[in-house]
Structures are given as C-alpha cells and as structure tokens.
C-alpha cells in the first residue's frame, strides 16, 4: 500500500545502497524499487554462487540503477559508494543464506554475515556522521534478517513476534542473530538510525534451485524423485518475494529508528503439503506420461540435523503501524511461480540451467 510519504513529488527522492541485490530477494527488491520510480538503486553484490545478474535484466538499463561487483567487507569501496552516490539508506541483504551449506561449512557464514555486517555498519556510521540536517535525519540502515533467529515453535498456535527471544538453531541462524545484535548495538551505542526486519520463508521467481520450492518444481518438471526431509511435517510460513519487497520499502521509508518488524503472510504449510501442492499444480499444467501422479515421486530422506519444526510469524505490528499487508495468497502465488518456471524452461533465451541448478 503506497503512503503519502512514499509518493512525495516526482522522480527519485532517495538513493539506496542495496547489498546482495543479485540474490533472490535482493533482485526482487531492485526490480520493485526501480518500477516504483521514487528510488535510485546502487546494487553492491559480490556475485557468489548465489548471485546472478539475469534476474536484474529488467532494471539494468534504467538511469536510476547501477550495479557494482564488490564485497560488503571492502571498507574503502563501501565508503566511496556511500559518499559519491550520496546514499540515503543501506538495505543490507548480502549474506550466506542456505542452512544446509551452513551445516557443511560454517566459516563463510561467520565471515559474511557477522564480520561483513560489522564492516558495513562501521562504514555506514562514518557516512551518517558526515551528514547534516535533512540528509542526516532521513538516513537509515536496514538489516534484512530472518525469523530463524527465534529458533523453532511447537505445533500449536504460537507465533513469532518482535518480542520473541533469540534461540537460533543452525550456524546460519546463529550468524544472522549475531548480525541483528550488532545492528542494534550500533543504534544503542552510537545512535546509528537502524531498522530491522525478520521475515519468514520466501518463494517466487529466480530463487536458487537448492531451496525447497524451486528444487521440487524443477525436479517434478523433469519427472525426477522429490526428496522431502524426515516425515515432511516441518511447517513454514510462506511469503511471496514481491510482497516482501513491498514490505522492505515500507520499512526503509517509514520504520521507526531502532524498531524491528516481523514480516509474514499468515500462510503456514507443512513441507509435505507444499510438495504435494506442487505435484498437483504441475500435473494439471504439464502432465507426465511416465507417472500417473507426481505425488508418486515423493521420497522421504534422512532429516537435516537440528531441523526446526515450525516457524510462524505474527505480522500485526507492521500491519498496524506501517499499513503493510501481504497481498499474494499462497496457492495463487505458488501457481504463478510454477507458471514462471514452465515459461523459463520453454524459453530459448533463458535455458533452464540458469536458475534450475540442482
Ligand atoms: P541469496 O543467497 O539468494 O542472495 C545473497 C546475495 O548476497 C547473493 O547475490 C550473493 O552474491 C551476495 N553476497 C554474498 N556474500 C557477499 C558479500 N560478502 N558481499 C556482497 N555480496 C555478497 O539470499 P536471499 O534468499 O535473497 O536472502 C537475502 C537476505 O534475506 C539474506 O540476508 C537472508 O538471510 C534473508 N532472508 C532470506 C529468506 C528466504 O526465504 N530466502 C528468509 C528470511 C530472511
């Protein structure tokens, strides 16, 4: 929902440094901000295995968009960008984000998510201190975090909120929790105007094929077996990435300094229900001759160590205070995502391998 402040005056009213803008959520955020017309975007991304410029083709020729390949921990590069581009807000999404990879190799998660965030905070603090008047009042450092920092929930009606205690379970969620603590400390100790958001699992176009929904869609499209951890009972609260991008802009523009916001769609589904829904939607759209139903391809595999049972978000605060609400329900959002993968696979310009790495 656009607010009066969102739409003040023609042309860009802010320049935002988006870190990790070549990732799944970051690229959706860049597309959203450029489409909106009110924001200049400087996208700083290291282009790790998780980053791709393909998802940014729509914005790359906009005069309000610039891509810079680089590391958030490169203090002199970040300082130059903050100064030379007159940055009004940092939206920090760059991270190592895959839980399974954090179990196999946690070191890079500590380096990027904790040390990288520290370097970015220091550069942002120097920049903010150099600003005066309106520019100083407008500046925000927005840390994009996860609901996984709160640990897991039992199978009841409890939900995470901004007040939930931190109980991270995996190296990934522990590193994001540490980053949240650093961001809050830079606010309390140095006065840096920060905002934080903790969101639930995202889905939508251009997600890396290691994650549950794209992995299942792409394997099911090819008629391959569909691995599901444990007994598939783990529950996640699914948020469409475009809904999330709108929430992030709202928080960056209107969030109160020092505040955090829990972002979710009230769409809780077990992993097995998600996989079954993908099977049924694909059977309708692209039936296979080799199998009667893609549900027959489901295979339960050894569970992930320390696999959290359930995540669920209570988004009442962002709904009440900032007027944001999720608009994309899960079933139509999932169907649209499947249609996107089918179009990508059918397109000669965009061969399936680009986002369908399994
Ligand atoms: P992603 O893994 O798809 O993208 C991360 C991006 O960061 C990549 O483009 C990568 O190249 C870049 N990057 C990594 N290290 C970097 C560095 N040192 N310097 C600059 N760039 C670097 O992640 P995503 O799914 O888009 O998630 C974005 C953010 O949202 C992350 O901080 C993640 O913790 C958080 N989050 C994600 C989800 C989700 O469901 N995907 C849910 C909650 C929170």
SS3 content of the chain, % helix, strand, coil (to 5): 45, 15, 40
User: Are the CB atoms for 356 and 345 separated by under 8 Å?
Assistant: yes
Give the Å distance between the CA of 144 and the centre of ligand 1. Answer: 9
- pLDDT tens sequence across 108-150: 999 999 999 999 999 999 999 999 999 999 999 999 999 999 9
Domain 14-200+241-265+312-326 is found in CATH 3.40.50.720: yes
- pLDDT tens sequence across 144-169: 999 999 999 999 999 999 999 999 99
Domain boundaries, the chain: 14-200+241-265+312-326
Dihedral over alpha carbons 330, 344, 242, 82 (to 10 degrees) = 150
Q: What is the DSSP string of 243-281?
A: HHHHHHHHHHHHPPTT-EEEE--S-EEEHHHHHHHHHHH
pLDDT of residue 351 exceeding 90, the answer is no
Give the Å distance between the CA of 8 and the centre of ligand 1. Answer: 30
pLDDT of residue 59 exceeding 90, the answer is yes
Closest residue by CA, ligand 1 atom 36: 146
Q: For 53-65, what is the mean pLDDT?
A: 97
User: Are the CB atoms for 153 and 145 separated by under 8 Å?
Assistant: no
pLDDT of residue 303: 85
User: Are the CB atoms for 344 and 350 separated by under 8 Å?
Assistant: yes
Closest ligand 1 atom to the C-alpha of 49?
11
Q: What is the DSSP string of 95-117?
A: S---HHHHHH--HHHIIIIIIIH
> Which of 345 and 165 is assigned the larger pLDDT?
165
Query: Pocket residues for ligand 1 (CB within 6 Å)?
Result: 19-20, 22-26, 44-48, 50-51, 71-73, 93-95, 97, 112, 116, 144, 146, 176, 199, 201-202, 208
pLDDT of residue 356 exceeding 50, the answer is no
Question: In whole angstroms, what is the distance from residue 11 CA to residue 147 CA?
Answer: 34
Classify the phi-psi angles of 88: left when phi > 0, otherwise alpha if psi is within -120 to 50, otherwise beta: alpha
Closest ligand 1 atom to the C-alpha of 172?
34
Burial class (CB in 10 A: 0-12, 13-18, 19+), 299: exposed
pLDDT of residue 10: 55
Distance of CA 280 to the CA centre of its chain: 27
User: Are the CB atoms for 44 and 18 separated by under 8 Å?
Assistant: yes
Give the Å distance between the CA of 21 and the centre of ligand 1. Answer: 8
pLDDT of residue 68 exceeding 80, the answer is yes
Closest ligand 1 atom to the C-alpha of 176?
34
pLDDT of residue 346: 86
Angle 24-139-316 from CA coordinates, rounded to 5°: 60
Kind of pairing between the strands at 89-92 and 140-146: parallel
| Average predicted confidence (pLDDT) for the chain | 93
Question: In whole angstroms, what is the distance from residue 146 CA to residue 244 CA?
Answer: 12
pLDDT of residue 107: 97
- The two structure tokens encoding residue 56: 């940014």
Tell me which residues are annotated as active site: 147-148, 172
Q: Is the C-alpha dihedral spanning 268, 325, 244, 56 positive or negative?
A: positive
Give the Å distance between the CA of 284 and the centre of ligand 1. Answer: 33
Closest residue by CA, ligand 1 atom 18: 71
Closest residue by CA, ligand 1 atom 5: 23
Give the Å distance between the CA of 22 and the centre of ligand 1. Answer: 8
């Amino acid at each position: 929902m656009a607010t009066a402040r969102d739409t003040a005056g023609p042309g860009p009213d802010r320049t935002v440094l988006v870190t990790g803008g070549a990732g799944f959520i970051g690229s959706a955020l860049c597309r959203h901000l450029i489409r909106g017309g009110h924001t200049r975007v400087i996208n700083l991304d290291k282009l790790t295995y998780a980053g791709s410029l393909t998802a940014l083709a729509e914005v790359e020729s906009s005069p309000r968009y610039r891509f810079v390949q680089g590391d958030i921990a490169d203090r002199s590069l970040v300082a130059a960008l903050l100064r030379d581009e007159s940055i009004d807000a940092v939206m920090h999404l760059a991270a190592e984000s895959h839980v399974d990879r954090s179990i196999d190799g946690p070191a890079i998660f500590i380096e990027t998510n904790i040390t990288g965030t520290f370097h970015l905070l220091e550069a942002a603090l120097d920049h903010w201190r150099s600003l005066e008047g309106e520019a100083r009042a407008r500046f925000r450092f927005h840390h994009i975090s996860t609901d996984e920092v709160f640990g897991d929930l039992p199978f009841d009606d409890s939900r995470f909120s901004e007040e939930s205690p931190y109980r991270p379970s995996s190296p990934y969620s522990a590193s994001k929790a540490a980053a949240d603590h650093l961001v809050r400390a830079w606010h309390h100790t140095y006065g840096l105007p920060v905002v934080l958001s903790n969101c639930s699992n995202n889905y939508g176009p251009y997600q890396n094929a290691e994650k549950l929904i794209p992995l299942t869609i792409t394997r099911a499209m090819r008629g391959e077996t569909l691995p599901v951890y444990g007994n598939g009972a783990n529950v996640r609260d699914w948020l469409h990435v475009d809904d999330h991008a709108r929430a992030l802009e709202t928080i960056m523009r209107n969030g109160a300094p020092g505040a955090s916001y829990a972002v979710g769609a009230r769409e809780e589904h077990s992993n097995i229900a998600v996989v079954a829904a993908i099977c049924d939607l694909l059977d309708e759209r692209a039936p296979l001759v080799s199998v009667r139903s893609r549900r027959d391809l489901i295979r339960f595999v050894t569970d992930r160590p320390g696999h959290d049972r359930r995540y669920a978000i209570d988004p009442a605060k962002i709904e009440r205070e900032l007027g944001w609400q999720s608009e994309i329900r899960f079933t139509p959002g999932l169907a649209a995502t499947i249609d996107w993968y089918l179009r990508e696979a059918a397109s000669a310009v965009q061969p399936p391998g680009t986002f369908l790495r399994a």
